[in-house]
Amino acid sequence: MFSFTKEQKIFEISGVKIGGQPGNLPTVLFGGFFFKGEPYFDTAKQQIKDMYILSNKTGNPVIPDFFIKKEENLEKIIEFIIKEIPKNKPFSVDIIEPDLKIKTLEILSNKNLLKRTVYNSIHIGTTNEERQTLKKHIPEMAIVVAFNPKDKSPDGKIEVLENSAHLLDKGLLDIVKEVGVKKILIDTAALAPGNYSGAAIAAIPVIKEEYGYPTGCAIHNVVEKSSWLKNFEDSRGIVDVASNINIPVFGGDFAIFGPVERANQVFPIVAWEDILISEYTENYFGITPDNFHPRRKFFE
Protein backbone atom coordinates (compact mmCIF):
# COMPACT_ATOMS: atom_id res chain seq x y z
CA MET A 1 0.00 0.00 0.00
CA PHE A 2 1.07 3.53 -0.51
CA SER A 3 0.30 7.13 0.26
CA PHE A 4 0.62 10.08 -2.11
CA THR A 5 3.11 12.90 -1.65
CA LYS A 6 0.80 15.30 -3.48
CA GLU A 7 -1.95 16.79 -1.32
CA GLN A 8 -5.15 14.92 -2.10
CA LYS A 9 -8.32 16.88 -2.72
CA ILE A 10 -11.63 15.81 -1.19
CA PHE A 11 -14.80 17.01 -2.86
CA GLU A 12 -18.28 16.78 -1.40
CA ILE A 13 -21.63 16.64 -3.13
CA SER A 14 -24.86 16.39 -1.14
CA GLY A 15 -23.12 14.73 1.78
CA VAL A 16 -20.99 12.32 -0.26
CA LYS A 17 -17.25 12.90 0.09
CA ILE A 18 -14.85 11.63 -2.59
CA GLY A 19 -11.06 11.62 -2.72
CA GLY A 20 -8.23 11.88 -0.23
CA GLN A 21 -5.37 9.58 0.69
CA PRO A 22 -5.93 5.81 0.44
CA GLY A 23 -7.55 4.59 3.63
CA ASN A 24 -9.20 7.88 4.50
CA LEU A 25 -12.58 7.78 2.74
CA PRO A 26 -14.47 4.69 1.55
CA THR A 27 -14.65 3.98 -2.15
CA VAL A 28 -17.67 5.71 -3.68
CA LEU A 29 -19.75 3.42 -5.88
CA PHE A 30 -21.57 4.69 -8.94
CA GLY A 31 -24.26 2.19 -9.91
CA GLY A 32 -25.33 2.39 -13.56
CA PHE A 33 -29.01 2.45 -14.61
CA PHE A 34 -30.61 2.23 -18.05
CA PHE A 35 -27.37 1.41 -19.85
CA LYS A 36 -29.22 -0.21 -22.72
CA GLY A 37 -31.23 2.95 -23.32
CA GLU A 38 -34.70 1.92 -22.22
CA PRO A 39 -35.62 2.94 -18.67
CA TYR A 40 -37.16 0.23 -16.46
CA PHE A 41 -38.56 2.39 -13.68
CA ASP A 42 -40.30 -0.20 -11.52
CA THR A 43 -37.24 -2.43 -11.15
CA ALA A 44 -34.91 0.56 -10.84
CA LYS A 45 -36.98 1.99 -8.00
CA GLN A 46 -36.37 -1.12 -5.88
CA GLN A 47 -32.72 -1.40 -6.93
CA ILE A 48 -32.06 2.15 -5.79
CA LYS A 49 -33.62 1.45 -2.40
CA ASP A 50 -31.54 -1.72 -2.10
CA MET A 51 -28.35 0.17 -2.93
CA TYR A 52 -29.01 2.75 -0.22
CA ILE A 53 -29.51 -0.08 2.28
CA LEU A 54 -26.22 -1.67 1.17
CA SER A 55 -24.53 1.70 1.39
CA ASN A 56 -25.75 2.18 4.96
CA LYS A 57 -24.54 -1.28 5.86
CA THR A 58 -21.00 -1.00 4.50
CA GLY A 59 -20.44 2.75 4.64
CA ASN A 60 -19.56 3.01 0.94
CA PRO A 61 -21.46 5.98 -0.47
CA VAL A 62 -23.53 5.33 -3.57
CA ILE A 63 -24.32 7.64 -6.45
CA PRO A 64 -26.89 6.31 -8.93
CA ASP A 65 -25.64 6.94 -12.47
CA PHE A 66 -28.43 7.35 -15.04
CA PHE A 67 -27.69 6.72 -18.70
CA ILE A 68 -29.81 8.97 -20.90
CA LYS A 69 -29.62 7.86 -24.51
CA LYS A 70 -32.88 9.05 -26.08
CA GLU A 71 -34.47 12.47 -25.91
CA GLU A 72 -37.92 10.89 -25.53
CA ASN A 73 -36.81 9.43 -22.19
CA LEU A 74 -35.12 12.54 -20.84
CA GLU A 75 -38.04 14.15 -18.98
CA LYS A 76 -39.22 10.79 -17.68
CA ILE A 77 -35.80 9.97 -16.24
CA ILE A 78 -35.48 13.39 -14.62
CA GLU A 79 -38.94 13.01 -13.07
CA PHE A 80 -37.90 9.57 -11.83
CA ILE A 81 -34.76 11.07 -10.24
CA ILE A 82 -36.82 13.78 -8.54
CA LYS A 83 -39.22 11.20 -7.17
CA GLU A 84 -36.90 8.36 -6.22
CA ILE A 85 -33.59 9.91 -5.19
CA PRO A 86 -33.78 11.45 -1.72
CA LYS A 87 -33.46 15.24 -1.87
CA ASN A 88 -30.29 15.21 0.21
CA LYS A 89 -28.48 12.77 -2.07
CA PRO A 90 -26.53 13.19 -5.30
CA PHE A 91 -27.02 11.48 -8.65
CA SER A 92 -25.14 11.31 -11.91
CA VAL A 93 -26.29 11.77 -15.50
CA ASP A 94 -24.36 9.75 -18.06
CA ILE A 95 -24.93 11.02 -21.60
CA ILE A 96 -22.94 10.93 -24.83
CA GLU A 97 -24.91 12.91 -27.41
CA PRO A 98 -23.98 16.60 -27.08
CA ASP A 99 -27.48 17.89 -27.91
CA LEU A 100 -28.99 15.68 -25.26
CA LYS A 101 -26.40 16.82 -22.74
CA ILE A 102 -27.33 20.44 -23.43
CA LYS A 103 -31.06 19.75 -23.02
CA THR A 104 -30.41 17.81 -19.82
CA LEU A 105 -28.38 20.66 -18.32
CA GLU A 106 -31.17 23.09 -19.10
CA ILE A 107 -33.81 20.89 -17.48
CA LEU A 108 -31.64 20.17 -14.42
CA SER A 109 -31.12 23.91 -14.06
CA ASN A 110 -34.85 24.68 -14.37
CA LYS A 111 -35.62 22.12 -11.72
CA ASN A 112 -32.85 23.32 -9.36
CA LEU A 113 -31.08 19.97 -9.46
CA LEU A 114 -27.60 21.08 -10.51
CA LYS A 115 -26.32 21.22 -6.91
CA ARG A 116 -26.88 17.46 -6.68
CA THR A 117 -25.67 16.61 -10.18
CA VAL A 118 -22.53 14.75 -11.14
CA TYR A 119 -22.11 15.53 -14.84
CA ASN A 120 -20.83 12.45 -16.65
CA SER A 121 -18.85 13.63 -18.52
CA ILE A 122 -16.39 16.13 -20.03
CA HIS A 123 -14.04 14.58 -22.61
CA ILE A 124 -12.47 15.09 -26.05
CA GLY A 125 -15.91 14.86 -27.69
CA THR A 126 -17.25 17.79 -25.67
CA THR A 127 -18.47 20.39 -28.12
CA ASN A 128 -18.24 24.19 -27.98
CA GLU A 129 -22.02 24.43 -27.64
CA GLU A 130 -21.89 22.09 -24.68
CA ARG A 131 -19.14 24.19 -23.13
CA GLN A 132 -21.23 27.34 -23.52
CA THR A 133 -24.21 25.61 -21.89
CA LEU A 134 -22.04 24.34 -19.03
CA LYS A 135 -20.97 27.92 -18.37
CA LYS A 136 -24.62 28.90 -17.94
CA HIS A 137 -25.73 25.82 -16.02
CA ILE A 138 -22.81 24.67 -13.89
CA PRO A 139 -23.20 21.24 -12.31
CA GLU A 140 -21.85 20.77 -8.80
CA MET A 141 -19.44 18.06 -9.92
CA ALA A 142 -18.20 16.64 -13.22
CA ILE A 143 -16.41 13.50 -14.29
CA VAL A 144 -13.54 14.17 -16.70
CA VAL A 145 -12.78 11.16 -18.88
CA ALA A 146 -9.08 10.94 -19.66
CA PHE A 147 -9.55 9.02 -22.89
CA ASN A 148 -6.82 9.74 -25.43
CA PRO A 149 -7.32 8.06 -28.82
CA LYS A 150 -3.66 8.68 -29.64
CA ASP A 151 -2.18 7.11 -26.55
CA LYS A 152 -3.75 4.70 -24.10
CA SER A 153 -0.89 4.73 -21.62
CA PRO A 154 -1.04 6.61 -18.29
CA ASP A 155 1.09 9.31 -19.91
CA GLY A 156 -1.46 9.58 -22.70
CA LYS A 157 -4.15 10.17 -20.10
CA ILE A 158 -2.07 12.95 -18.53
CA GLU A 159 -1.60 14.41 -22.01
CA VAL A 160 -5.32 14.61 -22.71
CA LEU A 161 -5.92 16.30 -19.36
CA GLU A 162 -3.13 18.78 -20.09
CA ASN A 163 -3.62 19.62 -23.76
CA SER A 164 -6.33 17.24 -25.05
CA ALA A 165 -3.60 15.65 -27.21
CA HIS A 166 -4.19 18.74 -29.41
CA LEU A 167 -7.59 17.41 -30.48
CA LEU A 168 -9.30 20.42 -28.85
CA ASP A 169 -8.19 24.02 -28.39
CA LYS A 170 -7.16 23.34 -24.79
CA GLY A 171 -6.70 20.55 -22.29
CA LEU A 172 -9.62 18.95 -20.48
CA LEU A 173 -8.59 20.44 -17.14
CA ASP A 174 -8.55 23.90 -18.69
CA ILE A 175 -11.99 23.27 -20.16
CA VAL A 176 -13.26 22.40 -16.69
CA LYS A 177 -11.82 25.67 -15.39
CA GLU A 178 -13.27 27.59 -18.33
CA VAL A 179 -16.81 26.33 -17.76
CA GLY A 180 -16.57 26.88 -14.01
CA VAL A 181 -16.98 23.38 -12.59
CA LYS A 182 -15.10 23.40 -9.29
CA LYS A 183 -15.34 19.75 -8.22
CA ILE A 184 -14.03 17.15 -10.62
CA LEU A 185 -13.44 13.44 -10.68
CA ILE A 186 -10.97 11.92 -13.13
CA ASP A 187 -12.11 8.78 -14.93
CA THR A 188 -9.04 6.98 -16.26
CA ALA A 189 -10.98 5.51 -19.20
CA ALA A 190 -10.93 1.73 -19.03
CA LEU A 191 -10.47 0.27 -22.49
CA ALA A 192 -11.29 -3.04 -24.08
CA PRO A 193 -8.88 -5.91 -23.41
CA GLY A 194 -6.02 -5.89 -25.87
CA ASN A 195 -6.35 -2.14 -26.10
CA TYR A 196 -4.15 -1.39 -23.08
CA SER A 197 -6.93 -1.90 -20.55
CA GLY A 198 -4.46 -2.21 -17.65
CA ALA A 199 -3.44 1.40 -18.19
CA ALA A 200 -6.71 2.60 -16.65
CA ILE A 201 -5.70 1.02 -13.37
CA ALA A 202 -2.04 2.02 -13.63
CA ALA A 203 -3.14 5.58 -14.33
CA ILE A 204 -4.99 5.95 -11.02
CA PRO A 205 -1.91 6.47 -8.83
CA VAL A 206 -0.17 8.39 -11.63
CA ILE A 207 -3.00 10.91 -11.89
CA LYS A 208 -3.55 11.19 -8.16
CA GLU A 209 0.15 11.85 -7.61
CA GLU A 210 0.23 14.37 -10.46
CA TYR A 211 -2.93 16.34 -9.60
CA GLY A 212 -4.41 15.11 -6.32
CA TYR A 213 -7.86 14.87 -7.85
CA PRO A 214 -10.27 12.08 -6.91
CA THR A 215 -9.74 9.35 -9.50
CA GLY A 216 -11.41 6.09 -10.54
CA CYS A 217 -12.93 4.34 -13.53
CA ALA A 218 -15.44 1.79 -14.81
CA ILE A 219 -13.06 -1.13 -14.78
CA HIS A 220 -15.90 -3.65 -14.97
CA ASN A 221 -16.38 -2.63 -18.62
CA VAL A 222 -13.16 -4.49 -19.37
CA VAL A 223 -14.65 -7.69 -17.98
CA GLU A 224 -17.70 -7.31 -20.16
CA LYS A 225 -15.48 -7.25 -23.23
CA SER A 226 -13.17 -10.09 -22.14
CA SER A 227 -14.53 -12.59 -24.60
CA TRP A 228 -12.16 -15.33 -23.40
CA LEU A 229 -14.22 -15.43 -20.20
CA LYS A 230 -16.95 -17.13 -22.23
CA ASN A 231 -14.98 -20.29 -21.55
CA PHE A 232 -15.58 -19.70 -17.83
CA GLU A 233 -19.22 -18.68 -17.85
CA ASP A 234 -19.72 -19.48 -14.15
CA SER A 235 -16.94 -17.07 -13.26
CA ARG A 236 -17.84 -14.08 -15.40
CA GLY A 237 -20.04 -12.49 -12.73
CA ILE A 238 -17.43 -13.06 -10.03
CA VAL A 239 -14.72 -11.51 -12.14
CA ASP A 240 -16.98 -8.56 -12.91
CA VAL A 241 -17.67 -7.94 -9.23
CA ALA A 242 -14.06 -8.54 -8.17
CA SER A 243 -12.68 -6.20 -10.84
CA ASN A 244 -13.94 -3.25 -8.77
CA ILE A 245 -11.42 -3.83 -5.98
CA ASN A 246 -8.69 -2.77 -8.37
CA ILE A 247 -9.83 0.78 -7.72
CA PRO A 248 -9.06 0.96 -3.97
CA VAL A 249 -6.02 -1.29 -4.35
CA PHE A 250 -4.47 1.22 -6.72
CA GLY A 251 -5.37 4.17 -4.51
CA GLY A 252 -8.53 5.18 -6.37
CA ASP A 253 -11.60 6.87 -4.98
CA PHE A 254 -14.60 5.73 -7.00
CA ALA A 255 -15.77 2.79 -9.07
CA ILE A 256 -18.47 2.97 -11.70
CA PHE A 257 -19.98 -0.48 -11.61
CA GLY A 258 -22.72 -2.36 -13.38
CA PRO A 259 -25.08 -3.95 -13.80
CA VAL A 260 -26.71 -2.81 -10.56
CA GLU A 261 -28.07 -6.32 -10.06
CA ARG A 262 -24.60 -7.11 -8.72
CA ALA A 263 -24.69 -4.33 -6.10
CA ASN A 264 -25.21 -6.80 -3.25
CA GLN A 265 -21.84 -8.37 -4.14
CA VAL A 266 -19.98 -5.23 -5.19
CA PHE A 267 -20.60 -3.32 -1.94
CA PRO A 268 -19.22 -5.98 0.44
CA ILE A 269 -16.20 -6.85 -1.69
CA VAL A 270 -15.20 -3.20 -2.07
CA ALA A 271 -15.85 -2.58 1.64
CA TRP A 272 -13.66 -5.59 2.45
CA GLU A 273 -10.81 -4.14 0.41
CA ASP A 274 -11.33 -0.67 1.91
CA ILE A 275 -10.95 -2.20 5.38
CA LEU A 276 -7.67 -3.92 4.49
CA ILE A 277 -6.26 -0.75 3.00
CA SER A 278 -7.36 1.36 5.94
CA GLU A 279 -5.70 -0.99 8.42
CA TYR A 280 -2.42 -0.76 6.59
CA THR A 281 -2.45 2.95 5.80
CA GLU A 282 -3.36 3.87 9.36
CA ASN A 283 -0.60 1.73 10.79
CA TYR A 284 2.02 2.80 8.29
CA PHE A 285 1.05 6.31 7.20
CA GLY A 286 -1.19 7.47 10.04
CA ILE A 287 -4.20 7.96 7.76
CA THR A 288 -7.28 7.64 9.93
CA PRO A 289 -10.49 6.37 8.34
CA ASP A 290 -13.49 8.64 8.11
CA ASN A 291 -16.33 8.14 10.59
CA PHE A 292 -18.44 6.29 8.01
CA HIS A 293 -15.64 4.13 6.68
CA PRO A 294 -16.45 0.37 6.51
CA ARG A 295 -13.71 -0.22 9.07
CA ARG A 296 -15.61 1.94 11.55
CA LYS A 297 -18.83 0.17 10.66
CA PHE A 298 -17.56 -3.32 11.27
CA PHE A 299 -14.68 -3.01 13.73
CA GLU A 300 -15.45 -0.17 16.13
The residue within the footprint of other proteins, chosen from 16, 102, 108, 158 (CB under 8 A), is: 158
Could you tell me the smallest distance in angstroms from the CB atom of residue 175 to other proteins?
12
Residue 90 binds other proteins, judged by CB under 8 A? no
Going by C-beta distance under 8 Å and a sequence separation of 6 or more, which residues neighbour residue 99? Answer: 71
Site for other proteins in 215-244 (CB under 8 A): 221, 224-225
Query: What's the closest the beta carbon of residue 225 comes to other proteins, in angstroms?
Result: 5
**CA of 147: how far to CAs of 1, 106, 152, in Å?**
26, 26, 7
Q: How far apart are the first and last CA of the chain?
A: 22
C-beta of 105 vs 158, nearer to other proteins: 158
Query: For the residues of 135-194, what is the DSSP string, one character each?
Result: HHS--SEEEEE---TT--SHHHHHHHHHHGGGSSSS-HHHHHHHHT--EEEEE-----TT
Q: How many residues interact with other proteins (rule CB under 8 A)?
A: 29
By CB under 8 A, residue 187 contacts other proteins:
no
Stretch that binds other proteins, among 4-12, 13-21, 187-195, 264-272 (CB under 8 A): 187-195
Helix (H, G, I), strand (E, B) or coil at 108: helix
Binder among 46, 56, 110, 195 for other proteins (CB under 8 A): 195
Separation CA 285–CA 278 (nearest Å): 10
CB of 142 to other proteins, least distance (A): 15
Measured distance CA(153)–CA(196) in Å, rounded: 7
- Site residues for other proteins per CB under 8 A: 96, 98, 123-125, 127, 145, 147, 149-151, 155-156, 158-159, 162-163, 165-168, 189, 191-192, 194-195, 221, 224-225
